[in-house]
Every structure is written in structure tokens, then in C-alpha cells.
Chains A and B, each alone.
Chain A
């Protein structure tokens, strides 16, 4: 693993460059402040050492102007740094809409990554240069943290919640990927690499490799294997809600409320059918909790999304 050694001031992502300039500014401010205090202490210690012949009468005990200035000046500087860092920080949460979505699943001591076309990787992430990438992450067990030092990005990955992180790589090469939140015995072995490739080479890599069925075909297979088609096919005898052009539509529930059939609603209906029962149906659907793991669920959801007429 010949990852490029990290350098302090040369990040490899668009947002990272802004973080580096802020880091440099802070280094400058705090450096001068520390040197100023140290120089003053050393100067006073030498000049006013015991026994030196120097004017010592009535040492000042209060100096209102000095005290006010050394309170207000740091306050102004801090507020400036605060505003600047908040501006940069808010960009971490504003992923561009055309970002390439990659699904990340963190489990105890490995990263499982899955591209939109179903290509899966473990502990390695191939991304194209200059294209904004958005990672949708969740964890299967303890809290992990997806951390790429070279891109200056880090985001905790929580169980029971999706968290997201986005970046735009600006340099080709292999970069370290670490887990930054203590997650158990092999926390320090849960590292990997992010490989940035020119877009053409990336597209070719994406298409190559073991031809795995993409998400939608795998989803269709699961849809049949687990018997969903038995009830939800239009011609089935069982009275079950139709799934054609369900994704994105508004569903009227039995208790009068309405819900948008988005990822969360579909996932809920699969794992907790009795939670939001559509109007006019009995809660007879069995729960698939514990039988479908995360990958199958992602595939099934992709298939339901791809049903004809489903709004993208």
C-alpha cells in the first residue's frame, strides 16, 4: 500500500484547500501570540531578575486601557476566525446535487462500499478526479468514523442513521482512509485507501471487474425469491397494495395520515409492515426483519425505485 504521504499544507480536495488556508491563518495568529507571550516573559525575567539595578518603583496593579484592549482584541480576532470557519463548515453540509452517490456500510473493522451500478469494494474506494462524490453512510454495529486526512474530511458513521459526507478530489493517487472513532479491538486495522483516477480510466474500471448484476436486477431476483411478487403482482389473488409507480407517490395511511413513499417509508414497510399500513388494507404482511441484510435491502429499494413510472 504505497499511499501518498500526507502533507500538512497540500490537501487533495477542493474543500480541503479552504481548510488549509484557515489552518495556516490560525497557525499564524496563535504562533505570533505564543511567541509574543514567551518573549515578554523571558524579557521581563531577564530585565527584572532579582538584584538587577533597574527602576522598580510602584509596579502597576491595574491598567484599565491595557486590560480592556487585551480582552476586546482577542474577542474580535476570534469572532473573525469563527465567521470564516463557520462559512467553510457549512459547505461540508451542502453537497452539490449532481454528486455521484456511493453507499458505505461500516461494520466492525471493515468498510464495505457499493457504487450505484452495484460494483462492490471492501476497504478501497475508487473515485473519478474532479467529480463531486457523495457518500451515504450507515453502520451495522458501533460508531465508526470515515476519515480521509488528505481530503480534510471526516464524518462519524452511526448505527440507525444515515450520515453523509461529500468531497471533490483534485489530485490523482492513492490516499489513506482511516476509522477515526474508537470502535473496538481492531479499530486501528480498519483502514483502507481512496484511489483517485482520471474520469476516463475510472469509467473503464467501473465497467470492468467481475460482472455483478447491478442493483436493479439483483433487486428483482430478491423480489421474487422472498415471495414479494406472490402478493404484490397485479394478477395475484391476495389483496395487497400495488407497487407499480409507488416510489415518490403520496400514500394514504389507514389512520388518515399521509406519507411520501421514499426510501425510509419503503424500508420501514419491509422491516416493520404494521407501522404505516396503507388505507383499505389489513396489516397482514409478514416482517422481513433479520432476513434481509443491508445490501439486499439496498438492492430491493433500487428495484422498487426502478418500477415503470416511478418518478426518479
Chain B
């Protein structure tokens, strides 16, 4: 058997069982991070707020994954499996937002055609009977301009 396969077998021999102290320690750090993200939200920093909130969330998820979910001493296949979905989330976000943000938008107010009898009406009426609420009248909608700063026509 090739050496690498043999070595791989050793690592997996006994999954190290975390100590109570390390688990509680991680838990406390998570709570501290929670408090940090809440307080940081009250400080008006503009866009930095969102980035900070997401960064703290990323650290918390990193902690949960590595200690609680034993990723620290799992083998590389499991780590790749964990990271794969994140990679494709960024791929999808990056390419689809490449479209939304660079679109030269000329918004138009959409009016439902006068004889607008959408097919889903019967189901919706049944739903409204369950939740007794007055039916909503016309639906307006402001002009969507994906990116206010790119208004010039091509």
C-alpha cells in the first residue's frame, strides 16, 4: 500500500474528543462576539457596519466549524467538502452581481394589464379566508434603478 494511504489511515485512527473546557471556552467567545456585533451595529459607520457584522459572523462560524464540528482534526476531504459550498456561493454571487451592477437600467412602471386575472387568484382567496384580512388594492411600485449612479444611456 502506498505510504500516503497508510499515513492517512493513521490520522483517522481515533477522532480526538474535545475537552469540556475547550467547548465552554469556545461558547463564551461566541457570546462575546455576539455582544460585539450588536454593539458595533449601534456605532454609525456606514457600510463598515455590514462588513463588520459579516466578519464577526464569519469568525463565529469558523469557531463553530473547527471546534464544535471537529473540523480541526478532520482529514482534508472533509475540509474541502465544507469549503466547496462557500466557494460556489461566491462564484454565483460574483457572476450574477456582475450582471445586476453593470446593467444600464431604464426602469418602467409596470401596470398589471387591466383585464388582469392572474391564475393564482383562487388559491390566494382561499388563503385570505384562512387569514381574515382586507384584500389589497392596486400595487404600485417605484421605478427600480439598479444602480442610481449609472443612469446615463449607452
Direct interface between A and B, CB < 8 A: yes
Q: Choose one: A93, A140, A164, A271; the contact of B140 (CB below 8 Å).
A: A271
Report which of B113, B140, B143 forms a contact with A107, defined as CB distance below 8 A: B113
Q: In residues 103-154 of chain B, which contact A (Cβ within 8 Å)? A: 105-114, 138, 140-145, 151, 154
Residues on the A chain within 8 Å of B154, using CB: 93-95
- Whether B142 and A275, one on each chain, are in contact in the complex, defined by CB atoms closer than 8 angstroms, is yes
Contact flags (1/0) for A162-206 with B, using CB distance below 8 Å?
A: 101000000000000000000000000000000000000000000
Q: Collect the chain B residues with CB atoms within 8 Å of residue A164's CB.
A: 106
Q: Are B106 and A267 interface neighbours, CB within 8 A?
A: no
Q: What separation, in Å, do the CA atoms of A93 and B106 have in the docked complex?
A: 14
The residues of B that contact A94 with a CB separation of less than 8 Å are 154
The answer to whether the Cβ of A289 comes within 8 Å of any Cβ in the partner chain is yes
**Docked-complex contact A287 and B140, CB < 8 angstroms:** yes
Known: A93-B154, A107-B113, A290-B114. A272 touches B141 (CB 8 A): yes
Between-chain CB contacts (< 8 Å), 11 pairs? A95-B154, A159-B110, A160-B110, A267-B108, A268-B142, A271-B111, A272-B140, A272-B142, A289-B140, A290-B138, A293-B111
Number of A interface residues in the complex (CB < 8 A) = 25
From A161, A260, A272, A289, B108 is in contact (CB under 8 Å) with A161
Q: Is A306 an interface position by the 8 A CB rule? A: no
Given contacts A107-B113, A140-B113, A264-B106, 20 further A-B contacts (CB under 8 A): A138-B108, A140-B111, A160-B107, A160-B108, A160-B144, A161-B106, A161-B108, A162-B107, A162-B108, A260-B151, A264-B108, A267-B108, A268-B109, A272-B140, A287-B140, A289-B140, A290-B111, A290-B112, A290-B138, A293-B111
Is A141 part of the contact surface with B, judged by Cβ < 8 Å? yes
Inter-chain residue pair count (beta carbon < 8 A): 57
Contact indicator B107/A161 (Cβ below 8 Å): yes
Return A271 CB to nearest CB of chain B, in Å. 5
Closest 9 CB pairs of A and B: A160-B110, A162-B106, A271-B109, A275-B142, A272-B140, A264-B143, A140-B113, A138-B108, A290-B138
User: Is B141's CB under 8 angstroms from A160's CB?
Assistant: yes
In Å, the complex CA distance between A17 and B128 comes to: 57
Q: What residues of chain A lie closer than 8 Å to B112, measured between beta carbons?
A: 290
Contact call A289/B111, Cβ cutoff below 8 A: yes
Give Cα A294–Cα B109 distance, bound, in whole angstroms: 10
Q: Which residues of B contact A267 (CB under 8 A)?
A: 108-109, 143
Residues of B near A162 (CB, < 8 A) are 106-108
Cβ–Cβ contact A293 & B107, under 8 A: no
Expressed in whole angstroms, the Cα–Cα distance for A46 and B93 within the complex equals 51
A162 to B108, CA, bound (A): 6
Residues of B within 8 A of A290 (CB): 111-112, 114, 138
Closest-CB distance, B137 to chain A (whole angstroms): 9
Distance to closest chain A CB from B104 (angstroms): 8
* Alpha-carbon distance between A140 and B106 when the two chains are bound, in angstroms: 16
Measured between alpha carbons, how far is A264 from B140 in the docked complex, in Å?
Answer: 14
**Residues on the A chain within 8 Å of B106, using CB:** 161-162, 164, 264
Measured CA separation A290–B112 after assembly (Å): 8
Shortest beta-carbon distance from B61 to chain A in Å: 36
